[in-house]
Chain A
Amino acid sequence: MTNTLSFGRAFRLTLLSLGALIFLAPYIFMISTAGKGQSEIFTSSLSLIPTQFFYLENFAKAFGRVSMGQLLWNGVIVCGLIFVIQVIIAIPCAYAMAKLKFGAARLLMALVMLGLLVPIHATSLPLYVAFDSAALLNSYTALVAPFSISVFAIFLFLQFFRAMPDDLIHAARLDGMSELGIVMRVIVPNAWPAITAFAIFSVVAHWNDLYWPLIVVSNQAYATPPLGLLFFRAAEAGDDYGALMAATLIITLPLVAAFLLAQKRFVEGITMTGLKG
């Protein structure tokens, strides 16, 4: 590719830049509006730099109405627990399916394929009834338990483990390692790319999920970030968009920051999980 600016290339760059501007516009306006006072929001919506900075006031309001720290903390706890449990459950299972001979492997594969078809939306009604009768609504258990099993994780790790050389495992067996020992000391250290990719997939999915938390949580103390934002919107009378934008900014920031810091991993993760899912 030459560096001279041909017509075609100028056109291409203009198109890309224009598109990028449209895609980034919501972020630009979010940051801008989070710093505007009520009156300015109503009069001049197109000026990007606030004439008077209301950032402090708006952020104070955002933190005041709903406990933002609690929301983010809930998000971290729930996503962290889900991810850790999913991996602990899925890796041994995927290892058994990939490297060990046993009769139920095919049945298990069928279950995994079936599971890939079924989203939480399809199972939420009976699960809700069950959690309700067990008096488990409004708890971390209710938020985490249905996602303790990720058939997608099993599927992803299975693909990854199949590609691992058998010699590695045979050598470990000759050294007298138990199968569980092999999983923990041979498989896991070699599976970091797959684990990272799955971590990104899992955390993005559950950090953003609104459906299930909305169903099982009505108490603000257990609200995850998306649900908390809904509570905040409900508590917010009228059109206080300054405070609302401040709140959205706080809630969007953690994941966006993580993405910007670990962009390469994100893209790799999405490609790996995306193409194999």
Chain B
Amino acid sequence: MADMTAISLPVEKSRPIVNVSERHEARVAWMLAAPAMILIVLFILAPVVAVITLGFTDFELGYSTFKFVGFENYAELMGDRTFRQSLWNTAVYTAIVAPASILLGLGVALLIESETVGRSFFRTAYFLPVASLLVAMATVWQYLLHPTIGPVNSLLNLIGLPGPNWLGSAGTVLYSLSMIGVWQTVGFNMILFLAGLTAIPRDLYSAAEIDGAKSPIDRFFLVTLPMLGPTTVFVTTISIINAVKVFETVKTLTEGGPNKASEVLLFTIYQEGFVYLRVGYASAMTVVFLAVLVVMMFAQYRLVDRKVHY
């Protein structure tokens, strides 16, 4: 209670309190919000400040002293082949998984929406991967994609095609991981698109038809797509952010290999920070990762402001 009043002091200064009941209301509000506020500072704000600060140090876990090294970590990052490879791989993974899972999600949602039979079955089937433990399903994919005993290659051999070493060769590993990523996220996007589709008023379609949009394709571009604008922006942002955060499948299946061909941002940070314990250097990487997320979010805000007002 003592520190509670201490926190509430600045408020009383900045805002003239008119009467007792308003003052009481503010105090109660403070008490209700205080636990959340303290925890935000403790587990979000302070760690973010700490990670930015640590990025300028040579701190390593296990050593008791450290010193500030300015931008040395960032300079090292620029020349770090693993880190550059990791950024590139994350970009490629995102460039495949985000568009593919958005388009497939939209496609499946449109198909399900226009179909009367088996709606809930299809919805369940496509959504199941979202509700499944990714580490477990990655293990299943590892078996499916096994070069010699895996069903996928057995199937390919059956029709006379040579099966690649999906997760084991540097040329295919990133694409195989992307495929698993798409499989895992299509259902989530589908559900959001389905919600967006049901929110479109039916009479818009009849109006469009009267206005001369005779074919369903015309009506799709005239009504459906523009009306899905806000949903699409949101789905796009969340798909990109989730793709940038790829970690589980990489950790479970490839550990960044072979030959760093599947090294991705979070995995590299994990390796540097928690395996090699170079906390300072990994913090600099984390700052880059955070910067990427901030840029994405701002891009979304701007897009929402400009493009999707109807």
* With A46-B155, A93-B35, A125-B273: A275-B192 Cβ-Cβ less than 8 Å: yes
Complex: A5 Cα to B29 Cα, angstroms: 61
CB-defined contacts of B48 to chain A, threshold 8 Å = 118, 122-123
Task: Note all chain A residues with C-beta closer than 8 A to B42.
Answer: 149
Q: Is the CB of A29 within 8 A of B35?
A: no
Given A90-B36, A275-B195, also A267-B132 (CB < 8 A): no
B29 touches A274 (CB 8 A): no
Residue in contact with A100 in the complex, picked from B29, B251, B289, CB distance below 8 Å: B29
Cβ of B50 and Cβ of A126 under 8 Å apart?
A: yes
Checking A19, A100, A123 against B51 with a beta-carbon cut-off of 8 angstroms, the contacting residue is A123
Q: Indicate which residue in B124, B137, B195, B282 contacts A260 across the interface (CB closer than 8 Å).
A: B124
**Interface residue tally for chain A (C-beta within 8 Å):** 94
Residue B225 at the chain A interface, CB threshold 8 Å: no
Report, as a range, how many residues of chain B touch the other chain. 35 or more
Q: Does residue A64 face the partner (Cβ distance < 8 Å to B)?
A: no
Q: Distance (Å) between the CB of B198 and the closest chain A CB?
A: 9
Q: Which residues of A contact B150 (CB under 8 A)?
A: 45
Q: Are B273 and A115 in contact (CB under 8 A)?
A: no
- Would you call A127 and B234 a contact (CB within 8 A)? no
B11 within 8 A of A: yes
CB contact under 8 A between A256 and B131, given known A118-B48, A123-B44, A248-B137: yes
The yes or no answer to A174 lying at the interface (CB within 8 A) is no
Does B88 belong to the interface (CB within 8 Å)? no
Chain B residue with Cβ nearest A228? B135
Contact A266 B112 (CB under 8 A): no
Q: Is A108 an interface residue (CB 8 A)?
A: yes
Smallest CB–CB gap between B280 and chain A, Å? 9
Q: A114-133 CB contact bits vs B (8 Å, 1 = yes)?
A: 11011101111111110010
A266 near B266 with CB under 8 A, answer: no
Identify the interface centre among B33, B37, B108, B128: most chain A CB within 10 Å of its CB. B33
A111 → B minimal CB distance (Å) = 5
Inter-subunit contact A255/B32 (CB<8 Å): no
Chain B, 261-305, CB within 8 A of any chain A CB? 266, 269-270, 273-274, 279, 282-283, 286, 289-290, 293-294, 297
A-B contact pairs, 21 of them (CB 8 A): A23-B125, A26-B129, A26-B140, A46-B151, A89-B39, A102-B26, A103-B11, A103-B15, A121-B286, A128-B273, A148-B39, A149-B44, A179-B28, A179-B29, A179-B32, A210-B248, A233-B139, A248-B136, A251-B136, A270-B130, A277-B238
Residues of B within 8 A of A (CB): 10-12, 14-15, 22, 25-26, 28-30, 32-33, 35-37, 39-48, 50-51, 54, 61, 108, 111-112, 114-118, 120-137, 139-141, 143-144, 146, 149-151, 154-155, 158, 183, 186-188, 191-192, 195, 231, 234, 238, 245, 247-248, 251-252, 266, 269-270, 273-274, 279, 282-283, 286, 289-290, 293-294, 297
